[in-house]
Amino acid sequence: MTILLILSINTGSSSIKYTLIEIETEQVLIRGIVENIGAADASMKHCLKGKEEVFHAQYSNHEQSIQAIINTLLDTRHGALKDLSEIFAVGHRIAHGGEDMFQPTVIDESTLAKMRENIRLAPLHMPHMVRGIEIFRKLMPLTPMVAVFDTAFHQTMPPEAYLYAIPYEYYLKYGIRRYGFHGTSHRYVSERVARFLDQPFDQLKIIICHLGNGSSIAAVKNGNSVDTSMGFTPLSGVPMGTRCGDIDVAIVGRIMEYEGLSFPQVEKILTNQSGLLGLSGISNDCREIEIQAINGNARANMAIDVLCYQVKKYIGAYVAAMNGLDCLVFTGGIGENGAMIRERICAGMDYLGIQLNSDKNNVRLEREKDAKLISNEDARVRICIVRTNEELMIGKQTYEAIRNDVMKDDRTMEPDSSDCASF
Ligand code: ADP
pLDDT of residue 405: 84
Which atom, in ligand 1's list, is nearest to the CA of 211? 6
Q: Is 15 in the pocket of ligand 1 (CB under 6 A)?
A: no
| Half-sphere exposure at residue 264, Cβ-oriented, CA atoms within 13 angstroms | 2
Residue pair 150/183 in contact by the 8 Å Cβ criterion: yes
Q: What are the b/e assignments for 54-79, b being 16+ CB within 10 Å?
A: eeeeebeebebbbebbbebbeeeebb
Q: Give the whole-angstrom CA distance, residue 291 versus residue 217.
A: 25
Q: Give the whole-angstrom CA distance, residue 194 versus residue 189.
A: 9
pLDDT exceeds cutoff 60 at 415: no
Q: Is 241 in the pocket of ligand 1 (CB under 6 A)?
A: yes
Q: Is 390 in the pocket of ligand 1 (CB under 6 A)?
A: no
Q: In which band, very low, low, confident or very high, does the pLDDT at 411 lie, cut at 50, 70 and 90?
A: low
Mean pLDDT of 176-202: 97
227-269 residue pLDDT tens = 999 999 999 999 999 999 999 999 999 999 999 999 999 999 9
Give the per-residue SS3 of the chain: CCCCEEEEEEECCCCEEEEEEECCCCEEEEEEEEECCCCCCCEEEEEECCEEEEECCCCCCHHHHHHHHHHHHHCCCCCCCCCHHHEEEEEEEECCCCCCCCCCEECCHHHHHHHHHHHHHCCCCHHHHHHHHHHHHHHCCCCCEEEEECCHHHHHCCHHHHCCCCCHHHHHHHCCCCCCCCHHHHHHHHHHHHHHCCCCHHHCEEEEEEECCCEEEEEEECCEEEEECCCCCCCCCCCCCCCCCCCCCHHHHHHHHHHCCCHHHHHHHHHHCCHHHHHHCCCCCHHHHHHHHHCCCHHHHHHHHHHHHHHHHHHHHHHHHHCCCCEEEEEHHHHHHCHHHHHHHHCCCHHHCCCECHHHHCCCCCCCCCEEECECCCCCCEEEEECCCHHHHHHHHHHHHHHHHHHHHHHHHCCCHHHHHCC
- Greater confidence (190 vs 420) lies with 190
pLDDT exceeds cutoff 70 at 422: no
Strand pairing of 27-35 and 16-22?
Answer: antiparallel
136-158 residue pLDDT tens = 999 999 999 999 999 999 999 99
pLDDT exceeds cutoff 90 at 409: no
Residue with CA closest to ligand 1 atom 1: 213
How remote is the CA of residue 383 from the centroid of ligand 1, in Å?
Answer: 19
Is residue 409 annotated as part of the catalytic site, yes or no?
A: no
Which atom, in ligand 1's list, is nearest to the CA of 241? 14
Which amino acid would we find at residue 180? G
Q: Give the whole-angstrom CA distance, residue 213 versus residue 201.
A: 28
Please state whether 180 falls in left (phi above 0), alpha (psi between -120 and 50) or beta: left
Q: Is 212 in the pocket of ligand 1 (CB under 6 A)?
A: yes
C-alpha dihedral (334, 335, 341, 343), degrees to nearest 10: -160
Q: Tell me the CATH number of domain 200-388, given options 1.10.10.10, 3.30.420.40, 3.40.50.2300, 3.20.20.70.
A: 3.30.420.40
Q: Is 290 in the pocket of ligand 1 (CB under 6 A)?
A: yes
Residue with CA closest to ligand 1 atom 19: 333
pLDDT exceeds cutoff 50 at 61: yes
C-alpha dihedral (403, 404, 405, 409), degrees to nearest 10: 100
Percent of the chain topping pLDDT 90: 92
- CATH 3.30.420.40 residue ranges of the chain are 5-174, 200-388
pLDDT of residue 152: 97
pLDDT exceeds cutoff 60 at 397: yes
Q: Give the whole-angstrom CA distance, residue 266 versus residue 97.
A: 26
Q: In which band, very low, low, confident or very high, does the pLDDT at 412 lie, cut at 50, 70 and 90?
A: low
Mean pLDDT of 12-33: 95
Mean pLDDT of 33-61: 93
Q: Give the whole-angstrom CA distance, residue 143 versus residue 286.
A: 40
How remote is the CA of residue 388 from the centroid of ligand 1, in Å?
Answer: 12
Residue 357: exposed, middle, or buried by beta-carbon count in 10 A (0-12, 13-18, 19+)? middle
pLDDT exceeds cutoff 60 at 47: yes
pLDDT of residue 408: 77
Ligand 1 pocket mutation, candidates 286, 331, 386, criterion most atoms within 8 A of CB? 286
**From the candidates 41, 75, 108, 150, which is the catalytic residue?**
150
Q: Is 335 in the pocket of ligand 1 (CB under 6 A)?
A: no
Q: Give the whole-angstrom CA distance, residue 90 versus residue 11.
A: 12
pLDDT of residue 104: 96
Is domain 5-174 given the CATH code 3.30.420.40 in the classification?
yes
Q: Give the whole-angstrom CA distance, residue 155 versus residue 153.
A: 6
Q: In which band, very low, low, confident or very high, does the pLDDT at 407 lie, cut at 50, 70 and 90?
A: confident
Average pLDDT, the chain: 94
Ligand 1 pocket mutation, candidates 182, 334, 385, criterion most atoms within 8 A of CB? 334
Percent of the chain topping pLDDT 70: 96
Q: Is 234 in the pocket of ligand 1 (CB under 6 A)?
A: no
How remote is the CA of residue 387 from the centroid of ligand 1, in Å?
Answer: 12
β-strand partners of 33: 17, 45
pLDDT of residue 50: 83
β-strand partners of 69: none
292-319 residue pLDDT tens = 999 999 999 999 999 999 999 999 999 9
How remote is the CA of residue 195 from the centroid of ligand 1, in Å?
Answer: 25
pLDDT exceeds cutoff 80 at 132: yes
pLDDT of residue 368: 85
